[in-house]
Structure 1
Amino acid sequence: MLQISQLFIYPIKSLGGIELKTSAVTDRGLEYDRRWMLIDDNNRFLSQRENAQMALFKTAIGVNGLKVTYSLDLSSITFPFIPLNRKTTPVVIWDDICTGQYVSEGADAWFTLKLGINCRLVYMADDSLRPTDLRYTKEGTVTSFSDGYPLLMIGQASLDDLNSRLKEALPMNRFRPNIVFTGGEPYSEDTFKHLTINGIDIYGVKLCARCVMTTIDQDTMAKGKEPLKTLAGYRRKGAKILFGQNIVSAGAGTLNVGDEIQVQSLQTEERFIFS
């Protein structure tokens, strides 16, 4: 039996994640997931790819807002889920431009001080609709400030197989999934096409290409060569190293640790198949 074993959200893009026992599913992924983002002076998103220090910011969901703690000095800031500031601005994520809502001058000043980079914190309001890539998803599918898709799924068996090939095992947080499941064979998520979980229809749309963020220790921001060095030996397809599958949902609902995952159909396209 396939079963959800872990659920994660990453409220602020590229900052620390939060492990949950249950989560609401919205039109753009799990509730609160990547609804905030730090931008530079050019309104482009900030990422651990260029700023590994961002790994040291840990997030927590409070009663009235989101709390962020900087692990080097344990200082923290809390701001409401819905910004009081109504000013908006176009923001850039890869090749996409969408609307971000400024959070507060206080938040901007705090992150600028801790990171040592001029930056501002923005929020994605419900009326800011960022479409996913129509080459892989249906029209009308949207996502948050994620790299491109609302959800990422990885099987625990896949990480276990990778770790069996490494000198030192790596934790799941290197890969920033939303849904982790137990059961099945390693990399069985590669070919998931249509799933149902707790009455929610979920569709696999694209294998996830991995980047240097996977080589950053999320507790110390130390960088290494793994897991990309090892993954390149057996998980390369063309110029990309693939691990996990990007998925989308149809309709709202709730996901819980322990929910059974029912496989309705599998992918047959070559891009999902490893020989």
Structure 2
Amino acid sequence: MLHLSGLYRYPMKSAAGEALSEAMLDDLGVQGDRRWMAVDAETGRFLTQRLLPSMTQLNVRWQGHAYIVLSAPGMDELQVAVPDEWAPLRPVTIWRDNPQVPDAGEAAAQWLSCWLKRPCRLVYISAERARQIDTAYAQPGERVAFADGFPLLLIGQASLEDLSARVGRALSMLRFRPNLVVNGSAAYAEDGWSRIRIGEVEFRVVKGCSRCIMTTLDPLTGERSEDREPLTSLRRYRERDGEVYFGQNLIACGGGRLALDMPVEVLA
């Protein structure tokens, strides 16, 4: 029987993830997921592990809709409040989007700049300022926070196990940063799904997830694989039109509650 075996939230884009036993979904995916982002202080361009592997060691704990707590090795914890409606707006760049979003203030900027060793700012995105999902895959009004393109990412546990066998060593699921992990299906079965239900929430499976150099970083240490795995193996059998795919992007058809071990039903 298919069931939900993993559930993750990433409060800050490209920082460490949180394993959850249950979560609520809202219009932007898992509540609190990728609502915060580090950007270059001068250009406003988004910062990720692709450029800064030390972001793997940056922990961000979501504390409801009021604040987050930043922590990293050798750093004092910092509590950062969600910016209020009077917070100054900062133009930022995330891929082709250029939203104006609230800045989280000087204390957060100084803390992040110290840890990342470069001038940066911390910004927040609300539902009102969220980005339109590519309308080739979504309806007008369907939005995403600071995730690359879609609110949710699903990976089958069997797919990871197959890839690990091909690489020759066990790989952490967190290398691939999914929100949802499904157990009980065949490897890569998710590639053929177009609509699923988890508990009482339905999802559209809209697009395969193309993978980048971030997957070669150990999520626990930030060290890069010298053999460029798992990308090297994925390219041998998961490359299409110059892109390497692993996992499926989802859009939820409404909100609701998710919890580990909930049944997963393939509707189409």
Tell me if both proteins adopt one fold, taking TM over 0.5 as the criterion.
yes
**Mean alpha-carbon deviation: is it higher for 90-99 or for 207-216?**
90-99
- 1:119-174 CA distances to partner (integer Å, 9 max, x unpaired)? 00000022103100111122221001000000000000000011111222110000
Q: Retained in 2: the 8 A contact 1:8–1:17?
A: yes
Structure 2 unaligned runs (5+)? Answer: none
The offset of 1:57, in angstroms, is 0.5
Moved more, 96-105 or 157-166: 96-105
3-state SS of the aligned residue for 1:75?
coil
The amino acid of 1:226's aligned partner reads E
Q: How does 1:120-131 map to 2 (within 5 A)?
A: 120-131=121-132
Question: Is the 8 Å Cα contact of residues 85 and 102 (structure 1) preserved in structure 2?
Answer: no
**Native 8 Å contact 2:4 2:181 kept in 1:** yes
The 5 Å alignment of 1:208-219 reads 208-219=209-220
Alignment of 1:37-186 (within 5 A): 37-40=37-40, 41-62=42-63, 65-71=67-73, 73-83=74-84, 86-186=87-187
Distance 1:173 1:93 in 2: 22
Cα distance in 2 for partners of 1:81, 1:7 equals: 24
How many Å separate the matches in 1 of 2:86 and 2:178? 31
| Contact preservation (8 Å) 2:27, 2:127 | no
Residue in structure 2 matching 1:239, options 239, 242, 263: 242
Amino acid at match of 2:5: S
User: Take 1:165 and 1:90, find their aligned partners in 2: how far apart are those partners?
Assistant: 43
Aligned with 1:92: secondary structure?
coil
Q: TM-score under structure 1 normalisation?
A: 0.92
2-side partners of 1:208 and 1:22: how far apart? 24
Which structure: greater strand fraction? 1
Aligned-partner SS, 1:213 = helix
Q: TM-score, normalised by structure 2?
A: 0.95
For 1:74 and 1:171, the matched residues in 2 are separated by 26
The alpha-carbon deviation at position 85 of structure 1 amounts to 5.8
Structure 1: any 5+ residue segments left out of the alignment? 266-275
Count residues in correspondence: 264
Give the whole-Å Cα distance in 2 for the aligned partners of 1:246 and 1:117: 32
Aligned-residue CA RMSD (Å): 1.4
Query: Hey, what's the Cα distance between the residues in 2 that align with 1:245 and 1:196?
Result: 15
Matches for 1:8-23 after TM superposition, within 5 Å: 8-23=8-23
* Equivalent residue number for residue 201 of structure 1: 202
8 Å CA contact retained: 1:37, 1:46: yes
Distance 1:74 1:172 in 2: 27
